Amino acid sequence: MSFKLTILGCSSAVPEIDKHPSSQLLNSNENFFLIDCGEGTQLRLKENNINFQRISHVFISHLHGDHFYGLIGLINSMHLLARKKELHIYSHIELKKIINSQLQVSNTVLNYPLFFHEISKDSEEILFENEDISIENILLEHRINCSGFIFREKKFKRKIDKDAIVKYNVPDFYLNNIRSGDDFINLKGEIIKNKQLTKKAKLANSYAYFSDTIYKKSISKKIEEIDLLYHEATFLEKHKNLAEKTGHSTALQAAMIAKKADVKHLLLGHFSKRYKNLDLLKNEAQNVFNNVIIAKSGMHLNFKTLIQNK
């Protein structure tokens, strides 16, 4: 059961040779979710040895170019490389027209099914779920409609404790009942509690992606005790006025959200290119919250090793 995040790009606005616009890949038990898709994302996937045909769902936070200009190229390359598998796009509705008009003008009829799913601009809901994970949108506040995403692994079941099964003489045919949470009554009529026959379940991981947004205090309620929060930190506190003007946050503000929500780790990103030394942002955030990570293109975060003290 993997839960791994790869940062493909985490710079804001204008792409540079070593600073790529927003995109991340979340691998949750071999479900491949792409989050945002700035220009050049298909090359970033290749650089990170990720076969982009494995992506099944794409989540676009908002329709500023640095978050979606790479999507049409990715869709087209998937087609040219003979994809057959469905692709699902979750975004605000306007993207559908933009993508379709570009396919139409080139007479491209995709050889795989492409589905658009509209993200609401005024309500929060589960966008997708399967047996492994649920994904919901969170309303952020930016210059245009913008959506955060929370990815939550489904709760795992407790695992059979083989030694206890032997000890208490539980017959094979009853094991599925134990897996489902039943207690066991032996021949003497004694009740053996399910907890005595099973081991603690693996804790489910959770990830929240918040980019781009103003400092929105109330949002912390929605991500309480989440494992990892990616929060944009476009600016330092000394440029707070710029953050306010452009609908962004400072590193300190991101940390205040992380602290209030009591998340395990805070991942900062969406950096303005004015900062050459990103440690300044890290230090600022660490004034109020300890576990701060600075995002970097090509960074891999494995939640299994990252989140140790749950």
Closest approach, Cβ 16 to a second copy, in A, equals: 7
Q: Contact between 82 and a second copy (CB under 8 A)?
A: no
Among 48, 53, 56, 102, binds a second copy (CB under 8 A): 102
Q: Contact between 112 and a second copy (CB under 8 A)?
A: no
Q: Contact between 110 and a second copy (CB under 8 A)?
A: no
DSSP string, the chain: --EEEEEEE-B-SS-BTTBPBSEEEEEETTEEEEE---TTHHHHHHHTT--GGGEEEEE----SGGGTTTHHHHHHHHHHTT--S-EEEEE-THHHHHHHHHHHHTT---SS-EEEEEPPSS---EEEE-SSEEEEEEEE-SSS-EEEEEEEEPPPPPEE-HHHHHHTT--GGGHHHHHTT--EE-TT-PEEPHHHHEEPPPPPPEEEEE-S----GGGGGGGTT-SEEEEE--B-GGGHHHHHHHT--BHHHHHHHHHHHT-SEEEEE-B-TT-S-THHHHHHHHTT-S-EEE--TT-EEEHHHH----
Q: Contact between 175 and a second copy (CB under 8 A)?
A: no
Q: Catalytic residue at 36? A: no
Q: Contact between 49 and a second copy (CB under 8 A)?
A: no
Q: Contact between 65 and a second copy (CB under 8 A)?
A: yes
Q: Contact between 42 and a second copy (CB under 8 A)?
A: yes
Whether residue 18 has a cis bond before it, omega within 30° of 0: no
**97/200 with CB nearer a second copy:** 97
Q: Contact between 81 and a second copy (CB under 8 A)?
A: yes
Give the up-direction half-sphere exposure of residue 300: CA atoms within 13 A in the CB hemisphere: 13
Q: Contact between 95 and a second copy (CB under 8 A)?
A: yes
Among 8, 9, 34, 39, binds a second copy (CB under 8 A): 39
Supply 269's token pair: 């990103």
Contact present, 128 and 152 (Cβ < 8 Å)? no
Supply 165's token pair: 């099964």
**85/304 with CB nearer a second copy:** 85
Closest approach, Cβ 118 to a second copy, in A, equals: 14
Among 77, 134, 246, 291, binds a second copy (CB under 8 A): 77
Q: Exactly one of 36, 66, 212, 227 is catalytic; which is it?
A: 66
Q: Contact between 304 and a second copy (CB under 8 A)?
A: no
Among 72, 89, 226, 263, binds a second copy (CB under 8 A): 72
Binding mask 5-24 for a second copy (x = CB under 8 A): --------xxxxx-------
Give the interface size with a second copy as a residue count (CB under 8 A). Answer: 33
Among 3, 23, 28, 70, binds a second copy (CB under 8 A): 70
What are the residues binding a second copy (CB under 8 A)?
13-17, 39-40, 42-43, 46-47, 63-65, 69-70, 72-73, 76-77, 80-81, 94-95, 97-98, 101-102, 105-107, 143-144
